[in-house]
């Protein structure tokens, strides 16, 4: 009977979907540590699993080519040349699986992390050290986690991007359950995809001054791959102030084989710019919304990044992020796509002065308001800004002839695009709903944007988009340099389409019909009761 039960359990495990297996990984540590520690534990183990799988595959290739000779099998350069991390015996996933039930398994995992980092310079600072020894999880919980992670593999789940799917699931899932501050490290995938599609980072340097877990970098590589480009033509440069998130980013990029420069340490971009003199081709970013206290009242007032503009207020970093990114862009062709809270569209005082100069200097190309409920830690609607250093006529990398858009800004309002909703599982009985842009919607936004850039078939669409000039009676200057799309996009008053006389006639007829039916019904009831009464007499 015991053997039949075991076979049945194995069959049930085999039938689990990838999402169910990943859910089991999260459940294994429920009630153990903080959400951050559990996140790091799950993701780091998944990293060791994928790194181990790649190592074993490469090891088999070396054995086939050179035979089972330790000189070749243990030569790290043979692995690194194929973008595979060399792993000592203690760091190999197979070793951890064999010892999953050992009383010192937590120590063994920490040792595996430390050895992997020591062997591979690219992992320096990426893996959490001494995490499992201080996690407080029982041996059986850690074993359950290892057994669950061990089920994730290409042999069982034939996903085109299994690594990406697993990492995105964990980053997304932990972001859903986090507070606002804790959840800032993850930007919804459809939003990042939209930015990549509009900026088209085919070749050059992609920069993110607040890179979180690296979603912008990953999507830029995915964009290149989906358009059959060369991933090696893109290099990623970034910075992140939160040490735990900085590590997550390095791990996320390392497991996908994306080379990167995230600076020497996790530190604020404002107070310690790790790429001070760097100019970049693309910027993709999701800065913390309305960040307060990013500088002291008398600090950074003469910073060269604000040259020619007012000093951004210490009470809100929105325009500090804008000017910082502007200072990084290549002066001839740099372009940036970044997200900000909607309040930045018409903020006053120093911010209004900065906004005026940005528009007069012709740095803003497009403003796109996104639907509400797209983000995991806030339900507000946010705005995608696109800044471009050169809006003159020319030819892009696709050979498209771009018209001169000098002195013009494209506005789009997508707040009504809120029909596509996905549900995320927080726990057994609690779920969270979020709006997600569909591939068709992203394609439509890109189509409008490209048509506006080229002048080929673009036209203003009421309640969706409008092209606005700086000058003119209805231009940006005349409207006080506000960037709120509703100031410029035509609003259709659908009430004006109503035939009030006809509607009133229809309503009166419906009332007469209803009244007549009620009278007939009462008459029938009265006749019925009278008939009953007569029969009783």
3-state secondary structure 237-303: EECCCCHHHHHHHHHHHHHCCCCEECCCCCCCCCCCCCCCCCCECEEEECCCCCCCCCCCCCCCCCC
Residue 151 parent element (H or E): none
Residue 230 parent element (H or E): none
SS3 content of the chain, % helix, strand, coil (to 5): 45, 10, 40
CATH number at 224 reads 3.40.50.150
User: How far does the chain reach from its first CA to its final CA, in angstroms?
Assistant: 78
Please tell me the predicted confidence (pLDDT) of residue 6.
57
Domain boundary among 443, 462, 487: 487
Per-position pLDDT tens, the chain of length 537: 455 555 555 555 556 888 888 889 988 988 887 888 888 899 899 999 999 999 999 999 999 999 888 899 999 999 998 889 999 999 999 999 999 999 999 999 999 999 999 999 989 889 999 999 999 899 999 999 999 999 988 778 776 667 777 877 887 777 776 655 444 557 888 999 999 999 999 899 999 999 988 989 998 988 888 887 777 889 999 999 989 889 989 988 988 888 899 999 999 999 999 999 999 999 999 999 899 999 998 899 999 999 999 999 999 999 999 999 999 999 999 999 999 999 999 998 999 999 999 999 999 999 999 999 888 767 788 999 999 999 999 998 888 999 999 999 999 999 999 999 987 666 666 677 889 999 999 999 999 999 999 999 999 999 999 999 999 999 999 999 999 999 999 987 655 455 656 667 777 777 777 777 777 767 776 666 666 554 433
Assign residue 360 a region: left if phi > 0, alpha if psi is -120 to 50, beta otherwise? alpha
Residue 391 parent element (H or E): none
For residues 159 and 18, the answer to whether their CB atoms sit within 8 Å is: yes
CATH number at 132 reads 1.20.1260.30
Residue 116 lies in a domain: yes
CB atoms within 10 A of CB 143: 18
Q: Are residues 153 and 184 in the same domain?
A: no
Q: Are residues 353 and 225 in the same domain?
A: yes
Assign residue 369 a region: left if phi > 0, alpha if psi is -120 to 50, beta otherwise? beta
Residue 345 lies in a domain: yes
Residue 501 lies in a domain: no
Please tell me the predicted confidence (pLDDT) of residue 505.
75
Residue 251 lies in a domain: yes
Tokens (6 digits) for 120: 């591979």
CA-based Rg of the chain, rounded to a whole angstrom?
30
Q: Are residues 354 and 214 in the same domain?
A: yes
Q: Are residues 107 and 243 in the same domain?
A: no
User: What is the DSSP annotation of 463-496?
Assistant: TTEEEEESSSTTSTTTTTT---GGGTSPPP-GGG
Domain boundary among 125, 158, 191: 158
Residue 210 parent element (H or E): none
What one-character DSSP code corresponds to residue 232? G
Order of strands across the sheet with 465-469? 260-261, 234-238, 204-208, 282-285, 335-341, 382-388, 364-369, 408-413, 465-469
What one-character DSSP code corresponds to residue 430? -
Q: Are residues 276 and 356 in the same domain?
A: yes
Q: Are residues 24 and 114 in the same domain?
A: yes
Please tell me the predicted confidence (pLDDT) of residue 187.
85
Taking the CA atoms of residue 43, residue 215, residue 319 and residue 446 in that order, the dihedral angle to the nearest 10 degrees is -160
Please tell me the predicted confidence (pLDDT) of residue 434.
86
Residue 25 lies in a domain: yes
Q: Are residues 456 and 313 in the same domain?
A: yes
Whole-angstrom distance, CA of residue 369 vs CA of residue 299: 32
- Domain count within the chain: 2
For residues 330 and 280, the answer to whether their CB atoms sit within 8 Å is: yes
Q: How would you classify the pairing of strands 382-388 and 364-369?
A: antiparallel
In a 3-state reduction of DSSP, which class is residue 395?
strand
Q: Are residues 428 and 386 in the same domain?
A: yes
Residue 1 lies in a domain: no
Residue 435 parent element (H or E): strand 431-435
Residue 391 lies in a domain: yes
Beta-bridge partner residues of 127: none
Q: Are residues 111 and 255 in the same domain?
A: no
Domain boundary among 449, 470, 487: 487
Please tell me the predicted confidence (pLDDT) of residue 537.
39
Q: Quick one: which of 536, 484, 202, 440 has its CA closest to 348?
A: 484
Q: Are residues 199 and 147 in the same domain?
A: no
Q: Are residues 293 and 404 in the same domain?
A: yes
Q: Are residues 374 and 435 in the same domain?
A: yes
Domain around 152 = 15-158
CB atoms within 10 A of CB 505: 11
Whole-angstrom distance, CA of residue 125 vs CA of residue 500: 69
Residue 100 lies in a domain: yes
Q: Helix (H) and strand (E) counts for the chain?
A: 17, 13
Those residues whose C-beta lies under 8 Å from the C-beta of residue 292, and which sit 6 or more positions away, are 314, 315, 316, 317
pTM, full prediction = 0.84
CB atoms within 10 A of CB 310: 17
């Amino acid at each position: 009977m015991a053997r039949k039960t075991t076979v049945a359990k194995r069959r049930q495990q085999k039938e689990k979907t990838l999402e169910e297996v990943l859910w089991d990984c999260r459940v294994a540590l429920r009630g153990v540590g903080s959400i951050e520690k559990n996140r790091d534990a799950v993701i780091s183990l998944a990293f060791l699993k994928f790194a181990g799988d790649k190592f074993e595959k490469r090891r088999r290739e070396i054995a086939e080519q050179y035979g089972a000779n330790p000189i070749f099998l243990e030569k790290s350069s043979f692995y690194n040349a194929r973008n595979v991390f060399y792993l000592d015996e203690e760091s190999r996933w197979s070793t951890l699986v064999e010892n999953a039930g050992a009383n010192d398994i937590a120590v063994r995992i920490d040792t595996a992390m430390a050895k992997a980092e020591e062997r591979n310079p690219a992992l320096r600072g990426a893996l959490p050290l001494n995490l499992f020894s201080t996690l407080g999880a029982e041996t059986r919980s850690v074993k359950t986690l290892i057994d669950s992670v061990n089920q994730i593999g290409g042999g069982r789940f034939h996903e085109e991007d299994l690594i990406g799917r697993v990492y995105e699931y964990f980053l997304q899932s932990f972001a859903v359950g986090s507070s606002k501050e804790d959840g800032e490290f993850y930007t919804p995938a459809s939003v990042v995809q939209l930015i990549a599609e509009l900026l088209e980072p085919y070749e050059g340097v992609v920069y993110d001054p607040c890179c979180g877990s690296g979603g912008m970098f990953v999507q830029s590589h995915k964009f290149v791959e989906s358009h059959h480009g060369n991933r090696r033509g893109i290099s990623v440069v970034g910075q992140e102030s939160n040490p735990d998130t900085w590590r997550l980013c390095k791990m996320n990029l390392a497991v996908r084989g994306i080379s990167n420069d995230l600076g020497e340490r996790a530190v604020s971009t404002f107070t310690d710019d790790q790429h001070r003199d760097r100019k970049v081709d693309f910027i993709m970013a999701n800065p913390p919304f309305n960040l307060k206290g990013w500088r002291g009242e008398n600090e950074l007032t003469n910073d060269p990044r604000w040259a020619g503009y007012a000093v951004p207020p210490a009470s809100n970093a929105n325009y500090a992020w804008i000017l910082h990114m502007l200072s990084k862009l290549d002066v001839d062709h740099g372009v940036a796509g970044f997200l900000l809270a909607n309040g930045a569209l018409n903020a006053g005082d120093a911010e209004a002065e900065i906004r005026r100069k940005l528009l007069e200097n012709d740095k803003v190309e497009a403003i796109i308001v996104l639907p509400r409920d797209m983000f995991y830690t806030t339900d507000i609607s946010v705005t995608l800004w696109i800044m471009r250093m050169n809006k003159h006529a020319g030819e892009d990398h696709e050979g498209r002839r771009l018209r001169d858009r000098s002195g013009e800004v494209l506005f789009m309002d997508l707040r009504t695009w809120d029909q596509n909703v996905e549900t995320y599982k927080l726990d057994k009985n609690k779920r969270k709903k979020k709006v997600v842009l569909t591939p068709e919607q992203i394609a439509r936004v890109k189509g409008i944007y490209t048509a506006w850039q080229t002048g080929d078939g673009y036209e203003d669409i009421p309640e969706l988009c409008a092209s606005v000039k700086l000058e003119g009676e209805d231009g940006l200057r005349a409207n006080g340099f506000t960037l709120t799309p509703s100031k410029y996009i035509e609003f259709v008053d659908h009430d004006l389409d109503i035939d009030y006389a006809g509607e009133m006639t229809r309503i009166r007829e419906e009332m007469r019909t209803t009244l007549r039916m009620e009278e007939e019904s009462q008459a029938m009831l009265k006749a019925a009761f009278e008939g009953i009464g007569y029969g009783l007499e």
